[in-house]
Amino acid sequence: MGPAAPARPLRVLLVGAGGIGCPAAWGLVRAGGAEVTLLDPDVVEPSNLPRQLLYAPGDVGRPKAVVAAERLGAGAHGVPERLDERNAERWIGAADVVIDATDGARTKDWLNLTAVRLGRPLVHAAGLRGEARLLGVRAGGRPCLACLFGRLEQEAGTCADLGVFGPVVAVAGFRAAQEAHALAAGAGGPAHYEVLDLLGGRAVRLEVGADPGCPVCSAGPPALEPYPAAEACAAPAPAAEPAPAAAHRLDLTTERCPLNLLRARQALEALAPGEVAEFWLGAEGAGTVPAGLRRLGHEVLSEEARGAGLRLLARRARRVQRTEPLAAALLARFARQIVLPDVGEAGQRRLLDARVEVHGAGDALASAAVLLAAAGVGGLWLVSEGPPGPGPGGADLLAFLAARAVGEVRPGAAPAAARARRVSLPAAGSGGPLAELLAGAHAAQRVLLALLGLGPRPDPGAPPR
């Protein structure tokens, strides 16, 4: 079973209802014994769907915090507000433990300082590319996030670099939920920083100590600071002049990240080798497209500043792997997977074409199926070897999947003609729903890597390629 039930529910403040917040909230509500408040000012966007697993295409444009609380039902409250220095005391003060499910280094730095200041334990959770990272910070720090990394004043990467797979952030979210219970229970022993490398199949758990000169937690509670201003991934600023319309010219001045780079790549790779295309970029694209095209082997011939943006000439590389471009709606929905260098449009197409038969039971089956459907696996068959777990909020699993899958989801074995890859989930252990949800997320990540030909080792149940 899970952690012992406390006398009253554990009050958990989840800051961010995105890729980490959705699974963390699902796990906390499913495991019981917690009241979750989700705080997030954003609305659902199509590119959220592959990893923010509580949302369906019909939710696009609605406030995430409200939708998430609706899906999870009793035990979850949603507040479509940004946490900042004006409301921090109210929300953090009312919580037993805070989970940092935000993205962006400066936001994480601010939340660490604010939780240390207000004397509440904080679980720092992050997912980036193939890695999930976790640090439990006790009330008052010692150690805190700044003991490990100092103050984080710069974003770690541009938004186009921040591709990630749903199971990676799900692992971070489910682990954060476990850690919230452990911190609240006052688990003793040294603090650990955990790095789970889900592409390499490795886990590192580093014992960490307090930095005697930590700028946040070494000299008593720090002063509150204002919420950090505009992140790198803010709305694009238009260039000074509109782009002229012509063949081999593409106006991306109002495009959003990371679609700037994906659409520039699509346009350039549609040309013959050696041909030149002209791109008009807004401020956001100017920061990511030239470097991104170079990384893909294309030649950047010129970059001229145009207001806050750029006019860019680029020559298509001699050799690129030609793939049929994905339709615009699929490109937008799966952008943050496609932008991963090992995936691209060809990889996403393999996922969309894939057929998988999942054997398992309980919450592991539910989480593996939800994550595979969200990632765009085109056909899923669920073979229950015991009662399947419910979807988030106790929803019927198949109905929950049907509202989100790009392809079909059915109970029972796949027909032979589907040539489905067979995957068996580990049998349920004694760790309770959170451990099972976590096991399902790990299994989903292994399946995705195997489908993409990237896994650390082949899936023993897989048919020969």
| Binder of Zn ion out of 31, 169, 214, 368 (CB under 5 A) | 214
Q: Where are the beta strands (DSSP E) in 209-335?
A: 249-252, 276-281, 299-306, 309-315
The stretch near Zn ion (CB under 5 A) out of 7-15, 107-115, 143-151, 283-291 is 143-151
Spell out the residues 6+ positions from residue 100 whose beta carbon is closer than 8 angstroms to its own. Answer: 15, 16, 108, 111, 112, 115, 122, 123, 124, 125
In angstroms, rounded to a whole number, what is the distance separating the alpha carbons of residues 42 and 283? 22
Token match 């990540």: residue? 445
Closest separation between CB of residue 98 and Zn ion, Å?
A: 16
Among 48, 34, 39, CA closest to 14: 39
Nearer to Zn ion, 216 or 409 (CB): 216
Rg (CA), the chain: 22
Instruction: Report H helices in 300-356.
Output: 328-333, 335-338, 344-353
Residue 228 has what DSSP assignment?
A: P
The stretch near Zn ion (CB under 5 A) out of 32-40, 166-174, 206-214, 222-230 is 206-214
Token match 């068959």: residue? 381
186 conformational bin, left if phi > 0, alpha if psi -120 to 50, beta if neither: left
Polymer length of the chain: 465
The stretch near Zn ion (CB under 5 A) out of 78-86, 128-136, 216-224, 361-369 is 216-224
Q: At what angle do helices 432-451 and 21-31 cross, to 10 degrees?
A: 140
Amino acid identity for residue 321 in this structure: Q
3-state SS assignment for residue 367: helix
- Which residues from 29-68 bind Zn ion, rule CB under 5 A? none
Binding mask 81-120 for Zn ion (x = CB under 5 A): ----------------------------------------
Number of residues that bind Zn ion (CB under 5 A): 7
For 23, 72, 238, 273, 454, the CA distances from 447, given in Å and listed in that order, are 19, 27, 41, 35, 10
The stretch near Zn ion (CB under 5 A) out of 60-68, 96-104, 165-173, 211-219 is 211-219
| Binder of Zn ion out of 168, 216, 332, 425 (CB under 5 A) | 216
Binding mask 113-142 for Zn ion (x = CB under 5 A): ----------------------------x-
Closest separation between CB of residue 120 and Zn ion, Å?
A: 15
Contact between 144 and Zn ion per CB under 5 A: yes
In angstroms, rounded to a whole number, what is the distance separating the alpha carbons of residues 406 and 374? 8
| Binder of Zn ion out of 101, 122, 180, 217 (CB under 5 A) | 217
Closest separation between CB of residue 181 and Zn ion, Å?
A: 23
Nearer to Zn ion, 138 or 333 (CB): 138
Binding mask 146-165 for Zn ion (x = CB under 5 A): xx------------------
Nearer to Zn ion, 206 or 235 (CB): 206
By the 8 A CB rule, do 293 and 276 touch? no
Closest separation between CB of residue 105 and Zn ion, Å?
A: 16
Closest separation between CB of residue 141 and Zn ion, Å?
A: 4
Beta bridge partners of residue 346, listed in sequence order: none
Nearer to Zn ion, 194 or 231 (CB): 194
Nearer to Zn ion, 34 or 137 (CB): 137
Which residues here bind Zn ion, judged by CB under 5 A?
141, 144, 146-147, 214, 216-217
